[in-house]
Structure 1
Amino acid sequence: MNLPDNAREALEAFTACPGWEQRARLLMQWGERLEPLSERNETDRVHGCESQVWLVGAAHDGRWHFRAASDARLISGLLAVLLARVNGLSAAELAALDITDWFTTLGLSRQLSPSRANGMNAVVQQMRRLSEAG
């Protein structure tokens, strides 16, 4: 699997955790790494998430860079490991990405409640819409 550096770092960190408690703590630490969003506009809000999530994205030389924020610490962590995997991808790579496989590889999928999984899928769908429009 050809991974961006941040995604490789996430993979190494999460696979080294022996259990869910350690992964949850690590997720919250990753959430603190999110680049802050100075403005949280309704147009940037991701619908389909129980928690409030905002997403912005821009392409540079055909590669996408996203920033996201949430009002929930665990969701912020999930967003951080998602961004680690998707930032730097082209629109075509983003369209082909299996995000469920990414969370499974990190050992996080079993602990994703259906509402959290739906929320992460809503974030990925919004990323894809932005990249197709961009």
Structure 2
Amino acid sequence: MSLPREAANALEAFQAVGSWEQRARMLMQWGERLPALADEEKVEANLVQGCESLVWLVGRLQDGHWQFTASSDARMIRGLVALLLARVNGLSAAELQAVDLPEWFAQLGLSRQLSPSRSNGLNAVLQRMRELSLTQN
């Protein structure tokens, strides 16, 4: 499966830096680029269950392709979620089901930095995306 353009750009950028400090800085920058969610979108119904941090997720189906927006109260999680969005935005429901989260973060060189709780939280976000894609086909 070919990567969405935004994901390919992320992969190229993260593979070009060598140190964890540089990757961490870039991760924060990705998080800062996330568009802010409107207050009316930061509601209980959009809160992802299974995350230690607060993560809100909104998905919209446009011409058979999913577009997600998300926000988090934690800077590191915002960055990780931004990279997840880069990987999944523009995919069909079937493609979304096939996304390999550990593989994506391994390619970015970030898997070592994913604590079990962060990894579980990101899996919960991806799971919620998949649920949305199945209910609104």
Q: Normalising by the residue count of structure 1, what TM-score does the alignment of the two structures yield?
A: 0.98
Q: How many residues align?
A: 134
Partner SS state of residue 69, structure 1: strand
| Counterpart residue type for residue 16 of structure 2 | A
Task: Give the whole-Å Cα distance in 1 for the aligned partners of 2:65 and 2:36.
Answer: 20
Alignment gaps of 5+ in structure 1: none
Partner SS state of residue 3, structure 2: coil
Task: Give the whole-Å Cα distance in 1 for the aligned partners of 2:29 and 2:104.
Answer: 19
C-alpha deviation, 1:35, in angstroms: 1.4
Q: Which residue does 1:23 correspond to in 2?
A: 23
Partner SS state of residue 126, structure 1: helix
C-alpha deviation, 1:3, in angstroms: 1.1
Confirm or deny that 1:33 pairs with 2:42: no
Partner deviation per Cα, 1:68-126 (whole Å, 9 max, x = no partner): 00001110000111000000000000001111100000000111000000000000000
- What is the root-mean-square deviation of aligned Cα atoms in Å? 0.7
Alignment gaps of 5+ in structure 2: none
User: Could you list the runs of 4 or more consecutive aligned residues of structure 1 that deviate by over 6 angstroms after TM superposition?
Assistant: none
28, 50, 55: which one pairs with 2:52?
A: 50
Task: Give the whole-Å Cα distance in 1 for the aligned partners of 2:114 and 2:128.
Answer: 19
C-alpha deviation, 1:56, in angstroms: 0.3
Q: Normalising by the residue count of structure 2, what TM-score does the alignment of the two structures yield?
A: 0.96
